[in-house]
Chains A and B, each alone.
Chain A
Amino acid sequence: MHTDGYRDHPVRSYVLTGGRAHPTRNTLRPETLLRAVDDGRELPGTAGRHEQALLRTCRGTLALAELAAYLHLPVSLVAVMVSDLVDGGYLAVLSTPVHDLPDTDLLEEVLDGLRGL
């Protein structure tokens, strides 16, 4: 058995999210597109440095998985932070999640787009 992609590391997610293991919004997916709300409002001083870094990183559009990769944090943890920041009005969800399978319109557009690459 190989060990591609497996290694050990301490789990800190629980502490970092103040004890909540699940995001309040279960509509967040790794591919969900996010962008910081640009209204000049600053995060309260009590916000953690991860939240600050998250908003800085998200000044342009990125997917949740990209945010997690740039922040070096698990997607599940970043989803919790994102959820709170969306609730607080600091972060906007740009894409609506596809349920089950993407519809034909979307598939046709992706196909056209791929053929145009």
Chain B
Amino acid sequence: MGSADSEPRTAHHLAPTVARSVKVLVVGAFGVGKTTLIRAVSEIPMLSTEESITTASVGVDPRRDEKRTTTVAMDFGRVTVGSDTALYLFGTPGQRRFWDLWSGLADGAVGALVMVDTRDLAQSFEVLDQLEEHTRLPVAVVVNEFPDSPRHGLDEVRAALDLPEGTPVVSGDVRGRPQAVEALTTLVAHALDLRRAGNAAA
């Protein structure tokens, strides 16, 4: 974390018409392309913030605050959709200690965009398991295509990851804005379908 003494860099404020916000979590193992996707969509330069595991538990003796502790970082971007809504994209590796620390982050989220690297599908299991354990978010899966990725059919990926029925799976190079936006659109459309189905059932 940088020095708190320094004057903050110029803030990119939202338009005065924006008075509503919503968020999507972009989840996936290290190097899978979360930052790349968020950067492709974001209207502001990527921002980053972090939490420390002992923030809420220190307190008996302030001198003990000097001890060092683990922190979990989260990078994020933002895009204004329509005239009055800000969509925040929060990127996280999504392991257990992340959810311990950022437990409130999933509350009120549209859903989670889970990024998968077919060169290492196994690492996606933990991410999906943790999501399932800690949230009830709608999920869409993005298979990020790297030049040396083995070419799997999306149905193969779906089967390998044992995804709940109806979970959308898309693939593409998320360095391009259209593909990154398309992945988000898929997630929001899926969340809307689930929401409508839930309303109909209720």
Contact = CB atoms under 8 A, between A and B. Distances in A.
B54 A63 contact: no
Q: B-side binding surface: helix, strand, loop or mixed? A: mixed
Interface in B145-197: 177, 181, 184-185, 188-189, 191-192, 195-196
Contacts, number: 218
Interface residues of B, number: 75
Contact of A11 (B41, B54, B93, B108): B54
Interface string B19-58: 1111100000011000000000100000111111011111
A65 B76 contact: yes
Interface residues of A, number: 65
Contacts of A46: none
Interface of A: 2, 4-15, 19, 21-22, 29-33, 50, 53, 56-63, 65-66, 68-77, 94-95, 97-104, 106-117
Per CB-CB distance, the 8 closest pairs between chain A and chain B, nearest first, are A113-B81, A60-B13, A98-B108, A5-B73, A69-B47, A70-B8, A4-B30, A113-B82
